[in-house]
Every structure is written in structure tokens, then in C-alpha cells.
């Protein structure tokens, strides 16, 4: 559905300054809600494009969805967007799908059973030196000139998935992030062997009353501690 309307004429606006949305976001959200709720009627629902309902907090399982992650790239006709779906059970993702049809990529992970892209198993990289680490970024601040910028899709989920695929070594944010942006991607990364924590080094927990995490750190396992030490003072 999203691919068929990509690079066509559709309504788009800003929910708030710097937060674009389009009618395709809402249509995909409605479709996913109908189909996933039918698949697991007992599961709660948390989505970027659906008004939050506190009843999800009483559910053992919750779908956590971003109908289009990387809406800015979608609107601009770029390929750096995906549909992100995670099934969370007792606060932990157990099933994850990132569908990036413009890139012809389907990423899937099941807790305890690994992650794959287009059927090919994924493994995070073996880097042990933070210097020279690949980071998806448009530009790097002077303080980070000892790492290397690589191509950055607008979708944070796809940037995290790059670590799982050994196409990047580090993704870090120090600002609050929403559960729907990262729930599927962090399972894919962790199942590929990457180190995954919040920006303070704590495990991530999902389906929280305020569905946000304090930043994020996803890295090749050999540099996660060094990256954590660098972020710690900030």
C-alpha cells in the first residue's frame, strides 16, 4: 500500500513543527490495526498514528507500530523509509518486521531465533576499536571526527538495522525517543548480536505508561562499552 502511493500526490502536513505526517501514514496505520488485531485479538495497540489508550498497559502482548518510519524520506521520494511492526510481550519485543519495499528489503527477527534480511541471516560486526567506527550520519560534529559517516536513511529503524547487517557500527541518540520508532529494530539488532541499551546503559523496556526511552545506543558488541563511556559524560 505504501509503495504504490510513494512518489505520487497525497496530502501531507506537520503534526507539530519538524514532525511531518501524510495521509498514507494514516491509511497504513488503519490497515495494520485491522489485520494485526484480527490476528491477535488479545493484544494491545501502540502506534505513532493512533491515539494512545491506557488499556494497552493491562495487556501481556502489545503491537508496537510505526506505519511509516522515515516519513520525511517518504514524502521527498527517497528510499530511506520502512514499515515497522513489533510484537511486545511483558515489555520485551518477541517478533519484529521492518518492511522497506522501496529498498526491496524485508527484515525479520524472532526472539531467540536470530534475525535475517531477505532470508539471509544477520550478524553485527566484529569491530573492537571505536576509532573509525561507521556511523549513519549526514555530518559529524568536530568532537566525533574519529568516526566515519556512512549513508543515513531518515528512518531510525533502518539505521539501527544497519548495525545488525554490519553496514554500520554505531547508532546513538541522546534525546528521548518513541517506542514505535525502535521496538522492531532493536530486536533485529540484538538478535544479530549487537549491544543494545538506552543512552544511560540500561536495558530497554517497552509498553511503558510514557512510551519513550532516554536515548539509545546500538553498537557492534566490541565497541558498545567504549561508546557508552563516551556518551556517559554527556
Q: Which residues are annotated as a binding site for Mg(2+)?
A: 48, 66, 68-69, 181
Distance of CA 160 to the CA centre of its chain: 6
Q: How far apart are CA 84 and CA 9, in angstroms?
A: 23
Strands 61-69, 212-219: pairing kind? unpaired
Distance of CA 92 to the CA centre of its chain: 14
Q: Residues 6 or more apart from 90 whose CB is under 8 A from it?
A: 60
Total residues found in the chain within this entry: 234
Residue 204, CA distances (Å) to 35, 141, 169 in order: 27, 27, 19
Question: For the stretch 76-114, what's the b/e string if a residue is b when 16 or more beta carbons lie within 10 angstroms of its beta carbon?
Answer: eeebbbbbbbbbbbeebbbbbbbbbbbbebbbbbebeee
Annotated binding site: 48, 66, 68-69, 181
Q: Which three cell numbers stand for residue 81?
A: 523509509
Q: How far apart are CA 160 and CA 171, in angstroms?
A: 6
Q: Residues 6 or more apart from 49 whose CB is under 8 A from it?
A: 21, 25, 26, 29, 67
Give the closest residue to 65 by CA, choosing from 88, 42, 92, 81.
Answer: 88
Amino acid at each position: 500500500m505504501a509503495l504504490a502511493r510513494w512518489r505520487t500526490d497525497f496530502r501531507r502536513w506537520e503534526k507539530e513543527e519538524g514532525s511531518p505526517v501524510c495521509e498514507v501514514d494514516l491509511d497504513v496505520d488503519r490497515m495494520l490495526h485491522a489485520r494485526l488485531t484480527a490476528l491477535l485479538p488479545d493484544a494491545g495497540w501502540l502506534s505513532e498514528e493512533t491515539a494512545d489508550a491506557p488499556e494497552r498497559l493491562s495487556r501481556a502482548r502489545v503491537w508496537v507500530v510505526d506505519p511509516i518510519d522515515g516519513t520525511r524520506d517518504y514524502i521527498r521520494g527517497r528510499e530511506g523509509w520502512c514499515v515497522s511492526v513489533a510484537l511486545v510481550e511483558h515489555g520485551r519485543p518477541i517478533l519484529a518486521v521492518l518492511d522497506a519495499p522501496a529498498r526491496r528489503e524485508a527484515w525479520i527477527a524472532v526472539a531467540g531465533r536470530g534475525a535475517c534480511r531477505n532470508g539471509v541471516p544477520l550478524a553485527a560486526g566484529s569491530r573492537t576499536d571505536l576509532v573509525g567506527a561507521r556511523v549513519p550520519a549526514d555530518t559529524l560534529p568536530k568532537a566525533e571526527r574519529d568516526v566515519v559517516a556512512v549513508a543515513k536513511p531518515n528512518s531510525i529503524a533502518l539505521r539501527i538495522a544497519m548495525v545488525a547487517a554490519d553496514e554500520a557500527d554505531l547508532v546513538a541518540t541522546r534525546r528521548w525517543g518513541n517506542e514505535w520508532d525502535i521496538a522492531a529494530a532493536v530486536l533485529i539488532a540484538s538478535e544479530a548480536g549487537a549491544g543494545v541499551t538506552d543512552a544511560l546503559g540500561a536495558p530497554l523496556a517497552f509498553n511503558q505508561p510514557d512510551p519513550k526511552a532516554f536515548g539509545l545506543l546500538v553498537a557492534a558488541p566490541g565497541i558498545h562499552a567504549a561508546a557508552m563511556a563516551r556518551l556517559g559524560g554527556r
